[in-house]
Amino acid sequence: MSSERADSHLARDLVVYVLARFALVAVVAWVLTLFSVPLLVAVAVGIVAGLPIGLLVLRPLNQRVTAGLAERNKGRASERAKLRAELRGEQ
């Protein structure tokens, strides 16, 4: 039951993180268009500038997503190790 709850928090955090990254790119592009930068150039610069800015601004959300993914993968890794041991004939 707690695994399902953790997965739902992971899904929510991941969706919020992705939407925040898109919003950050949009804000940077919008600010650049205010200075008469062509839209395509503004979006390209927004994508490139949004990466380091997002790492700084969205750090807490990034850490929650990373922790959630690590927790989910830890369970998968233990199941995989158990299956491999069974396939080798170990108990």
For 2, phi then psi, to 5°, come to -70, -30
Cα separation, 77 vs 72, whole angstroms: 9
Contact present, 46 and 29 (Cβ < 8 Å):
yes
**Per-residue pLDDT tens digits for 54-73:** 999 999 999 999 998 888 88
Domain ranges, residue 50? 2-88
User: CB neighbours of 74 closer than 8 A, spacing ≥ 6?
Assistant: none
**Per-residue pLDDT tens digits for 3-34:** 566 667 889 999 999 999 999 999 999 999 99
Please count the structural domains in the chain: 1
pTM: 0.74
